[in-house]
Structure 1
Amino acid sequence: MDLRQRDKLNFVGFTQVEVRKMERLLTKYKDESLKDDFCKNVARALNRSTGRAGKPVAKWPEIQNWFSDNLEKVPNEISLQIKKKSPHRDRIVFVAEQQRDGELSVLEFEARSSKDGAWYDVDTFLSHRLVDSGQSEFLVRYVGFGAEGDEWVNSRNSLRKRSVALGLSDCHKVKIGDGVVCFRESDDHQAKYYDARVVGIETRWHDMRGCRCLFLIRYDHDGVEEKVRLRRLCV
Structure 2
Amino acid sequence: MGRPPSNGGPSFRFMQYEVTEMDAILQEHHNMMPAREVLVSLAEKFSESSERKGKIQVQMKQVWNWFQNRRYAIRAKSNKAPMKLNITPMPRDDSAAARSVPQQVAAPIPDAVPATTSASSAAGARRATSENSYMEFEAKSGRDGAWYDVGTFQSHRYLDKGDPEVLVRFAGFGPDEDEWLNVCKHVRQRSLPCEASECVAVLPGDLILCFQEGKDQALYFDAHVLDAQRRRHDVRGCRCRFLVRYDHDQSEVYLCFFLFNFEMHLSCF
**Does TM-score exceed 0.5, indicating one fold?**
yes
For structure 1, the residue ranges without an aligned partner over 5 or more in a row are 1-11, 22-47, 65-85
Q: Which residue of 1 aligns with 2:74?
A: 59
Q: Which residue of 1 aligns with 2:267?
A: 234
Q: CA separation in 2, counterparts of 1:57 and 1:223?
A: 26
Q: Secondary structure at the match of 2:125?
A: helix
Cα 1:50–1:118, aligned 2, differ >3 Å: closer, same or farther?
Answer: closer
Cα 1:224–1:87, aligned 2, differ >3 Å: closer, same or farther?
Answer: closer
Residue 209 (structure 1) shift: 2.0
Q: CA separation in 2, counterparts of 1:88 and 1:202?
A: 37
Q: How does 1:120-131 map onto structure 2 within 5 Å?
A: 120-131=148-159
Q: Which residue of 1 aligns with 2:251?
A: 224
Q: Which residue of 2 aligns with 1:157?
A: 185
* TM-score normalised over the length of structure 2: 0.54
Q: Secondary structure at the match of 2:194?
A: coil
Q: Which residue of 2 aligns with 1:93?
A: 123
Q: CA separation in 1, counterparts of 2:248 and 2:32?
A: 38
Q: How does 1:100-119 map onto structure 2 within 5 Å?
A: 100=130, 104=133, 108-119=136-147
**Which residue of 239, 242, 249 corresponds with 1:215?**
242
Aligned length: 173
Cα 1:219–1:51, aligned 2, differ >3 Å: closer, same or farther?
Answer: closer
CA contact (8 A) 1:180 1:233 kept: no
Q: CA separation in 2, counterparts of 1:159 and 1:183?
A: 18
Runs of at least 4 residues off by over 6 Å: 55-58
After superposition, the CA RMSD in angstroms is 3.5
Q: Which residue of 1 aligns with 2:30?
A: 18
Residue 131 (structure 1) shift: 1.4
Identity rate, percent? 38
Matched, 1:190 2:217: yes
Counterpart residue type for residue 133 of structure 2: L
Give a deviation string over 1:42-62, Cα, whole Å, max 9, x none. Answer: xxxxxx858959x99973477
Cα 1:191–1:217, aligned 2, differ >3 Å: closer, same or farther?
Answer: same
CA contact (8 A) 1:164 1:234 kept: yes
**Which residue of 201, 207, 227 corresponds with 2:228?**
201
Q: CA separation in 2, counterparts of 1:171 and 1:87?
A: 31
Give a deviation string over 1:105-152, Cα, whole Å, max 9, x none. Answer: 7x7111001111111111111111111225211111112211121111
Q: CA separation in 2, counterparts of 1:87 and 1:196?
A: 25
For structure 2, the residue ranges without an aligned partner over 5 or more in a row are 1-22, 34-62, 80-115
